[in-house]
Homo-oligomer: A and B are copies of this chain.
Amino acid sequence: MTNQLDSFFGAMADPTRRAVIEQLASGPASVSELHAPHQMALPTFMRHLRVLEDTGIVRSIKKGRVRTCHIEAAPLIEAQGWLAWQREIWESRLERLDALAKSIENFDD
């Protein structure tokens, strides 16, 4: 019952992790480059990175002593799809309500 969405939304709940996504959206980066903008200690930051990797949002390859990270599209697209789906349902419902309201208005004629 526990969806992929669980870990995805959990991962995105943290501003540090969202910032990492934003940075990676414009291209791959090393751990140090990703860490630079953030105040926190490196091990703490690494934990955030690992959450993103465990969720499949980020992948990385280590070459020499540098680990390069890049974004993985699928989970973000899936989450976006879920939100779009929800939205579709409630918007179509609102349209029906709207149509109902209009049909009631017509009683005035």
- A interface residues (Cβ-Cβ under 8 A, vs B): 1-3, 5-6, 9-10, 12-15, 18, 21-22, 24-27, 71, 73, 76-77, 79-80, 82-84, 86-87, 89-90, 93
Contacts and interface: CB of A to CB of B under 8 A. Distances in A.
20 contacts: A5-B15, A5-B18, A9-B9, A9-B10, A9-B12, A13-B13, A21-B86, A25-B89, A25-B90, A25-B93, A26-B89, A26-B93, A27-B93, A71-B90, A76-B83, A76-B87, A77-B87, A79-B83, A80-B83, A80-B84
Nearest to A96: B27
Contact of A86 (B1, B3, B25): B25
A3 B21 CA distance: 15
